[in-house]
A and B are shown apart, each in its own frame.
Chain A
Amino acid sequence: MANNSASSLSWRLALKIAAREMRSSKGKFFFVVLSVAIGVAALTGVRGFSATFRSALLAQARSIMAADLSTRMFAQPTDKEQAGLDAIAREGVTITPVTELLSMASAAKTMEPLLVSLKAVDPRQYPFYGTIDLQPAGQLKDALTPQTVVVADDLLARLKLNVGDELKIGTQTFRIAAVVTNEPDRLSGSFASGPRVFLTQEGLKQSGLIGPGSHAGQRFLFKVPPPRQGAPLSEAWVAQLKAQLEDLLPEAQVSDYRETSPALSQGLDRATSVLSLMSLVALVLGAVGVAMAMRAHLQQRMDTIAIMKSLGAGSGAILRIYVLQTLLLGVLGGVIGVALGVAVQGVFPVFLERLLHVQTSFQFHLSAIAVGLGAGVLTTLLFTLPPLLDIRGIRPILILRRAVEDQEDASFGAGILRRLKKNRAQIAAAVLILVGLAVLATLLSDSLRVGQVFSLGLVVVLIVLMGASTLLLSLLRRLLERTRLSLPSSLRHGLANLYRPGNPTAPLLAALGLGVMQIMTVYLVQQAVVQELHVSTGPSLPNVFLVDMTDDEVGGVKKLLELQPQVKAEVELLPVISSRILSVDGMDAESLKLKNFPRRLLRSVSLTWRDTVPPGTTVTAGQWWKADETRPEVAVSERQAERLGVKLGSQIAFAAQDREFTATVTALTKSDGQHAFSRADFVFPHAALRGMPLVWYGGVHVDPAQVDKVQRVLYAAYPSVSTINVAQALEAVRLVVMQITYVIQFLAAFSIFAGAVILASSIAGTRYRRIREVVVLKTLGATRGRIATIFSIEFAVLGLVAGLVGAVFANAVTAAVLHQLTIEYRVEWLWAVVALAGSAALTVATGWLASFRVLGQKPLEVLREE
């Protein structure tokens, strides 16, 4: 019979009932729609925005290399290699050569000579990313012709020349067209001494400096074609091209933009994972909110449903009404969410641009909107499945015996267990949610692994949080039962309210705890990561490097620099001994199997000494020697070790001038790329290198705005010491870090909001019960102040429990994440207290917002409804 009735309820009628019911309880559905909207807004906004933002960030990373990829070699490519490069160019990759070499240049007027660092480029192509800034302002492709050069400021100072004067290089005379004030790939080029001189490839050829046996370094810069319609740049393509080039040019060092600055690329990678996971969590938080609101809603409709059933409607017919209602809510929330998301996407870049002077273009992706809307409706349906399926269990007897409802709700956990036992459909629904979540996460993160880990992880986290909340609640209840009558009555009553029938306290706490946990995890990880990034771009790091100081000069230079007020930190000094590698583990240098390491470089390696681990360097394998070590031991940078095929315990034979010696590799190191010692690939104990001829390199942190002043003072006293200013490049890194911080904070705000909405909708769901309680209390003589105290205690305890659970798990997750990122973890007690107080304040505020007008109800109005 039920089936007949079910089929008699048409979709049309079901829709009518669904819409009418929604219209009659707008206030309640406001929160449901808001829950969906926030999830979808986070997803659309974050997805669209982070794609845009990521490409902006990556463009900055690329500008440090001026390309997507670069190869560095010490000979012109062979015919076969050139053919390979041509083939790559035919695939759409743009290639431009950059030739670098040291040479003497002289002022055409005075013939005064100076060692300069030449860089020949094709100004129509170079740089692919970033800009060359010129003084007077102009474009490199306009200023640089085969007859002109652009030069660094200190060349003009040293040769007493001006823009427009002539400079002789090799056999050719060039006109100085401009001063170069910013060179994007200054950090990734060769670290040569002498002021920079740019010229064209043709100009270099005409100068006659390039001949057989020339020591010119040859780099090729590569740019993969821009993606279509604002899609994120294909990192897979870059990786594939890198592998292809390593294969093609075995003698060349190939690096891609992510290696330009380890701090930057690590920051980006971390930010990217954090961003994608956060938008997913925001979505699920929204869906959990919908499910909880729908559950509360259906509980209130139980009477109606029971009446309909007693009139002969089947579960299927009633399900039809509420599935339609869920769909309507999902679509409505989705549409509002998409609008919000697009608005956020549009507004935030403007804000960022004003704040950080970063240009991010606004892109309106139909696909992002479709994804947001689809994911919103799908998650809404998925998460409301269990409460919807409950409809089947509602018995018509309810209209006669309301108490059944209260008993069913006595314990949520027990309820679930009982339901799982009784109801296979619920198990199927749970599996469906898990699978649906995995599919969504996979689609959204473009990674099956992320999808699996995320959905399983989230379900596990929710179950664990729910378990922890249930445990805490039952402990509290036991405590309450023991001490009940000795507690102040408001506190006792407030605590007892946590166990109000129909209060979805455990799932509510799990959702809230998830919110707290996410916000706090993000905050803690962000603090640690930013702090680390801060250290690596911090104010004590060298931003000006000094090259070619002699033993006699080094003491004076150090003293002079320390006297300058613009110098902000200790001067880092690096002694360098030129050497060559004769053999590794007895194998002759000529027959060594090298991996992307130009064999020629074996004849010019730089050695240095240091008795303790240098700043910015970490030992990744083996051990650093003791300060009084005299045996020849050597610490080799990981990267160099891999290229040379060197392991711990390997024996490397070096020759420096007329001395030959063999050292044992006792440590492998990794450097942050930002200290003077980052340039040292082979570090020895001091005793091992004593007495060898050396030059000094140095690094110092100077107020970025006043680098030129220091350069001038230094040049006046020590004209032969060259300086290289990387302050601008480091500033770019710092800027990126700042941007990442802002985006993460922005995303955390979404979660706070989603958590509050879930709480609000849950509290609004128990509004009717609360009103009844208020009325009874008022009838018994309670003042408003008293009732307010009781409810505030209830809300605050909810917040405290959620805060406690969230904070504990946030610390656990943070510890795990930081361990993976090899960053030190510390318990931040202050923040744990702030999280507790903050979540209590939030729950009290939200609780009262959602209990709007509950206190002001006239008792009789409510009692009449009995």
Chain B
Amino acid sequence: MIEVKGLRRSIRNGARTTEILKGIEFAVPAGQFVAIMGSSGSGKSTLLGLLAGLDTPTAGDVIVDGVAISYLPEDQLAQVRGRKIGFVFQSYQLIPTLTALENVLLPHELNGGAGDGMERARDLLKNVGLDGRMDHYPVQLSGGEQQRVALARAFMLRPPIVLADEPTGNLDTTNGAHVLELLLHLNRVERTTLVLVTHDPVLATYADRRITLRDGVMLSDELNPAPASL
């Protein structure tokens, strides 16, 4: 369960202050798939970052499973992120010096998960269709493959929440569909809460709920009674 209360974020650029988010308020029940939409500069990526505790709001709070995370000390925040939230970036953000397998294993190692995690990491890579690419470095993988490694990494600790920032934005149609399929499987089969930022209206039709931002305010918040299936 994610609760967002009176969330504001402004940045100072010299003498000028720009308000990016101007008081956002909503709650996401567990297991919901939310698509956050909006044009470039509407504040959707900033919102997603604040949901993940990647940034500190100017005012307001984000509460994840009853814990207010926005003003936690840095290392505690890292622990919350590691345990509760998986994050998928538009440009994958794999560690270039680690192999695919090591990248997937990383959350386990950083957060001290049970066992050695190796089996789960291998299984995840198999599930995303990268059985034969486990020992490859990111630079040796295509964009679609890299994003699938990133997904496997996000799923590694079975986080209750997965946040994704334009996960298919850099991919062609086939690869995009593959990634979407994996995300939907996660949400519908494993009941993981999924918050996805996109400006692709087609992608949004798969979501349970659609929040649209414009200039830092919520323009609309609509439930989708019949989400599409692949």
Chain A residues near B (Cβ < 8 Å): 403, 406-407, 410, 484-485, 489, 492-493, 496-501, 772-773, 775-786, 858-861, 863-864, 866
Question: Within the complex, which residue of A489, A501, A866 is in contact with B89, where a contact is CB–CB below 8 Å?
Answer: A866
Q: Provide a sorted-by-A list of 12 A–B residue pairs whose CB atoms are within 8 angstroms.
A: A493-B95, A500-B96, A772-B93, A773-B95, A777-B95, A777-B110, A781-B107, A782-B78, A784-B75, A786-B110, A860-B46, A864-B49
A776 to B110, CA, bound (A): 12
- Among B52-60, B124-132, B188-196, B218-226, the stretch that binds chain A is B52-60
Residue B205 lies at the interface, judged by CB distance under 8 Å to chain A: no
- Among B28-36, B80-88, B172-180, B208-216, the stretch that binds chain A is B80-88
A660 to B160, CA, bound (A): 112
The interface residues of chain A lying within 8 Å CB-to-CB of B55 are 858-861
Residue B186 lies at the interface, judged by CB distance under 8 Å to chain A: no
A858 to B89, CA, bound (A): 16
Residue B45 lies at the interface, judged by CB distance under 8 Å to chain A: yes
- The answer to whether A496 touches B90 (Cβ under 8 A) is no
A-B complex: 4 closest residue pairs judged by Cβ atoms: A781-B82, A860-B49, A860-B55, A859-B54
Within 8 A of A (CB), among B40-84: 45-46, 49-50, 52, 54-56, 74-75, 78-79, 81-83
The interface residues of chain B lying within 8 Å CB-to-CB of A780 are 81-82, 87, 106-107, 110, 153
A499 to B95, CA, bound (A): 11
- The answer to whether A489 touches B109 (Cβ under 8 A) is yes
The interface residues of chain B lying within 8 Å CB-to-CB of A783 are 74-75, 78-79, 110
Would A866 and B54 be within 8 Å (CB), given that A407-B139, A780-B153 are in contact? no
Residue B118 lies at the interface, judged by CB distance under 8 Å to chain A: yes
Would A858 and B93 be within 8 Å (CB), given that A501-B139, A783-B79 are in contact? no
Given contacts A500-B96, A786-B110, 9 further A-B contacts (CB under 8 A): A484-B99, A492-B102, A493-B95, A779-B87, A784-B75, A860-B49, A861-B55, A863-B93, A864-B46
CB distance from B36 to the nearest CB of A (A): 15
CB distance from B171 to the nearest CB of A (A): 14
- The answer to whether A406 touches B54 (Cβ under 8 A) is no
- The answer to whether B102 touches A484 (Cβ under 8 A) is yes
CB distance from A793 to the nearest CB of B (A): 12
- The answer to whether B75 touches A785 (Cβ under 8 A) is yes
Would A860 and B54 be within 8 Å (CB), given that A772-B93, A781-B111 are in contact? yes
Chain B's interface size range is 35 or more
A406 to B109, CA, bound (A): 26
Would A863 and B54 be within 8 Å (CB), given that A499-B97, A780-B106, A780-B107 are in contact? yes
CB distance from A765 to the nearest CB of B (A): 16
Question: Within the complex, which residue of B50, B90, B98, B110 is in contact with A781, where a contact is CB–CB below 8 Å?
Answer: B110
Which chain A residue shows the least CB distance to B90?
A866
The interface residues of chain B lying within 8 Å CB-to-CB of A501 are 96, 139
- The answer to whether A784 touches B153 (Cβ under 8 A) is no
* B54, B98, B111, B139: residue with the most chain A Cβ atoms closer than 10 Å: B54
Within 8 A of A (CB), among B92-136: 93-99, 101-102, 105-107, 109-111, 118
A786 to B109, CA, bound (A): 10
Which chain B residue shows the least CB distance to A496?
B97
The interface residues of chain A lying within 8 Å CB-to-CB of B49 are 859-860, 863-864
A779 to B96, CA, bound (A): 16
* Bitwise interface map of B from 163 to 175 toward A, beta carbon under 8 Å scored 1, else 0: 0010000000000
A784 to B139, CA, bound (A): 27
- The answer to whether B98 touches A863 (Cβ under 8 A) is no
- The answer to whether A781 touches B139 (Cβ under 8 A) is no
The interface residues of chain B lying within 8 Å CB-to-CB of A864 are 45-46, 49
A403 to B91, CA, bound (A): 12
Main secondary structure of the interface of B (DSSP, over half): helix
Question: Within the complex, which residue of B50, B74, B95, B101 is in contact with A776, where a contact is CB–CB below 8 Å?
Answer: B95
A863 to B81, CA, bound (A): 16
Which chain B residue shows the least CB distance to A783?
B75
- The answer to whether A410 touches B97 (Cβ under 8 A) is no
CB distance from A414 to the nearest CB of B (A): 14
Question: Within the complex, which residue of A772, A773, A858 is in contact with B56, where a contact is CB–CB below 8 Å?
Answer: A858
Which chain B residue shows the least CB distance to A409?
B139
Which chain B residue shows the least CB distance to A492?
B102
Which chain B residue shows the least CB distance to A503?
B97
The interface residues of chain B lying within 8 Å CB-to-CB of A498 are 97
The interface residues of chain A lying within 8 Å CB-to-CB of B139 are 403, 406-407, 410, 501
- The answer to whether A500 touches B97 (Cβ under 8 A) is yes
Which chain A residue shows the least CB distance to B143?
A403
Question: Within the complex, which residue of A406, A781, A860 is in contact with B83, where a contact is CB–CB below 8 Å?
Answer: A781
A860 to B118, CA, bound (A): 30
- The answer to whether A779 touches B54 (Cβ under 8 A) is yes
The interface residues of chain A lying within 8 Å CB-to-CB of B96 are 406, 500-501
Which chain A residue shows the least CB distance to B87?
A779
Which chain B residue shows the least CB distance to A406?
B139
A306 to B81, CA, bound (A): 37
A860 to B165, CA, bound (A): 12
A617 to B117, CA, bound (A): 73
The interface residues of chain B lying within 8 Å CB-to-CB of A772 are 93
The interface residues of chain A lying within 8 Å CB-to-CB of B82 are 780-782
Which chain A residue shows the least CB distance to B91?
A866
CB distance from A172 to the nearest CB of B (A): 93
Would A779 and B74 be within 8 Å (CB), given that A403-B139, A406-B96 are in contact? no
The interface residues of chain B lying within 8 Å CB-to-CB of A492 are 102
Within 8 A of A (CB), among B134-148: 139
Which chain B residue shows the least CB distance to A498?
B97
Would A781 and B78 be within 8 Å (CB), given that A406-B96, A499-B97, A772-B93 are in contact? yes
CB distance from A774 to the nearest CB of B (A): 11
The interface residues of chain A lying within 8 Å CB-to-CB of B90 are 866
CB distance from B33 to the nearest CB of A (A): 21
A786 to B78, CA, bound (A): 11
* A485, A779, A784: residue with the most chain B Cβ atoms closer than 10 Å: A779
CB distance from A779 to the nearest CB of B (A): 5
- The answer to whether B98 touches A496 (Cβ under 8 A) is yes
CB distance from B214 to the nearest CB of A (A): 18
A501 to B89, CA, bound (A): 20
* B78, B83, B106, B109: residue with the most chain A Cβ atoms closer than 10 Å: B78
The interface residues of chain B lying within 8 Å CB-to-CB of A784 are 74-75, 78
A492 to B102, CA, bound (A): 10
- The answer to whether B110 touches A782 (Cβ under 8 A) is yes
A331 to B147, CA, bound (A): 47
A498 to B118, CA, bound (A): 24
CB distance from B147 to the nearest CB of A (A): 14
Which chain A residue shows the least CB distance to B89?
A863
A501 to B95, CA, bound (A): 10
The interface residues of chain A lying within 8 Å CB-to-CB of B98 are 493, 496
Would A781 and B81 be within 8 Å (CB), given that A858-B56, A861-B55, A863-B49 are in contact? yes
A777 to B79, CA, bound (A): 11
CB distance from A265 to the nearest CB of B (A): 56
A783 to B110, CA, bound (A): 8
CB distance from B16 to the nearest CB of A (A): 17
CB distance from B159 to the nearest CB of A (A): 10
A794 to B75, CA, bound (A): 22
The interface residues of chain A lying within 8 Å CB-to-CB of B111 are 781
The interface residues of chain A lying within 8 Å CB-to-CB of B153 are 780
A784 to B73, CA, bound (A): 11
CB distance from A8 to the nearest CB of B (A): 33
- The answer to whether B93 touches A776 (Cβ under 8 A) is yes
The interface residues of chain A lying within 8 Å CB-to-CB of B89 are 863, 866
A434 to B172, CA, bound (A): 50
The interface residues of chain B lying within 8 Å CB-to-CB of A500 are 96-97
Which chain B residue shows the least CB distance to A501?
B96
- The answer to whether A779 touches B52 (Cβ under 8 A) is yes
The interface residues of chain B lying within 8 Å CB-to-CB of A776 are 93-95
CB distance from B139 to the nearest CB of A (A): 5
The interface residues of chain B lying within 8 Å CB-to-CB of A861 are 55
The interface residues of chain A lying within 8 Å CB-to-CB of B75 are 783-785
Which chain B residue shows the least CB distance to A499?
B97
* B46, B89, B97: residue with the most chain A Cβ atoms closer than 10 Å: B97
